[in-house]
């Protein structure tokens, strides 16, 4: 199992410089990947394309870019450009986001999101391969070819529900998860996506598991803090469904928390469940942050 690191999306006039510093340190520490969320701060693709320049080995990943505010051709053009800037080491993670964001903030109808993703991929994927896209759907239409360099980037879907997981296995390169525990990964995620990939004659999919992580001698306090810090995720329907499958009351129950031995065992459990990539979201403070980073580095 490859281990990567969620990097923060800093704000302020020196945000890109600070992001670059964090990426450089992640590569020096030996992490295989860096993951940047796209929420309300930096544009993830633009930020990685700029902050990642001159960093020679690490893989740059978005987790994830919401598809609704962007036509698939526009996203493909941006991703191809970023991939060219990053030496062909971009992984484009995309997702449908959530109704509260899509409808209440952007004003798009969050109607049958899996259908929209299916149609979206019918345009995005050929363009990412350097091919022409000709598609007329209910929510997406495109008749276009692009000239941007940078073909070959991997595409992952934020897929957790059965239809989206099948789509990720049949058409994309895998899934990127959040707030999804090991039992759910082993019993639901991996079997569903793997069967879909095999039926479609595609390679074994990547299963990227992102979770909060903290090495501590006070796990109860840290889990309670995780419940507070990540409370919003426990209320969003897609994540709530994964927590319910796991039998988890809240985010603190799936966070990877404990001393070095306990955290190492939890990571081994994820690998045994079929996770190919772990994206560590370090939410520790002070000495706990140093211990968490040191443990992760020791496992690389």
Task: Tokens for 281, please give them.
Answer: 């979201």
pLDDT in tens, 61-70: 999 999 999 9
Can you name the CATH fold of 174-198+207-300?
A: TIM Barrel (3.20.20)
pLDDT in tens, 166-189: 999 999 999 999 999 999 999 999
pLDDT at site 63: 97
Task: Give the C-alpha distances (Å, rounded to integers) separating 27 from 22, 99, 110.
Answer: 9, 36, 38
Report mean pLDDT in 10-residue bins for the chain, 300 residues.
94 95 98 97 97 97 97 98 98 96 93 97 98 98 98 97 98 98 98 98 98 98 98 96 98 98 98 98 96 98
Max CA-CA distance within the chain?
A: 57
Contact 169, 202 (CB under 8 A): yes
Domain parsing of the chain, residue ranges: 1-158, 174-198+207-300
Domains 1-158 and 174-198+207-300 share a fold: yes
Contacts of residue 50, Cβ cutoff 8 Å, sequence gap at least 6? 16, 20, 85
Task: Tokens for 52, please give them.
Answer: 């990642």
Q: Which of 94, 87, 91 is nearest to 72 (CA)?
A: 94
Region 1-158: CATH code? 3.20.20.30
Q: Is the pTM of this model over 0.95?
A: yes
The whole-angstrom separation of Cα 103 and Cα 107 is 4
pLDDT at site 8: 86
Task: Tokens for 295, please give them.
Answer: 């443990």
């Amino acid at each position: 199992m490859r281990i990567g690191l969620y990097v923060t999306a800093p704000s302020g006039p020196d945000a890109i410089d600070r992001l670059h510093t964090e990426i450089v340190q992640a590569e020096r520490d030996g992490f295989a990947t860096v993951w940047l969320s796209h929420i309300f701060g930096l544009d993830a693709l633009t930020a990685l394309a700029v902050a990642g320049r001159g960093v020679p080995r690490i893989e740059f990943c978005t987790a994830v870019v919401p598809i609704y505010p962007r036509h698939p051709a526009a996203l493909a053009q941006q991703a191809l450009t970023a991939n060219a800037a990053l030496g062909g080491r971009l992984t484009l993670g995309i997702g449908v986001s959530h109704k509260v964001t899509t409808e209440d903030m952007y004003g798009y109808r969050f109607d049958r999101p899996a259908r929209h993703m299916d149609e979206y991929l019918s345009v995005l994927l050929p363009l990412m391969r350097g091919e022409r896209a000709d598609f007329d759907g209910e929510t997406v239409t495109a008749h276009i070819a692009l000239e941007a360099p940078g073909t070959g980037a991997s595409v992952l879907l934020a897929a957790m529900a059965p239809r989206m997981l099948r789509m990720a296995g049949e058409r994309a390169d895998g899934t990127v998860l959040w707030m999804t525990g090991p039992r759910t990964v082993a019993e639901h995620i991996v079997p569903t996506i793997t069967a879909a990939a095999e039926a479609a004659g595609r390679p074994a999919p990547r299963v990227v598991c992102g979770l909060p992580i903290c090495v501590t001698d006070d796990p109860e306090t840290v889990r309670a803090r995780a419940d507070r810090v990540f409370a919003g995720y426990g209320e969003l329907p897609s994540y709530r469904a994964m927590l319910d499958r796991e039998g988890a009351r809240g985010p603190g129950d799936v966070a990877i928390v404990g001393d070095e031995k306990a955290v190492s065992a939890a990571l081994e459990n994820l690998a045994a469940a079929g996770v190919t990539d772990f994206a560590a979201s370090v939410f520790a403070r002070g000495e706990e942050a140093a211990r968490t980073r040191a443990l992760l580095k020791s496992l690389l």
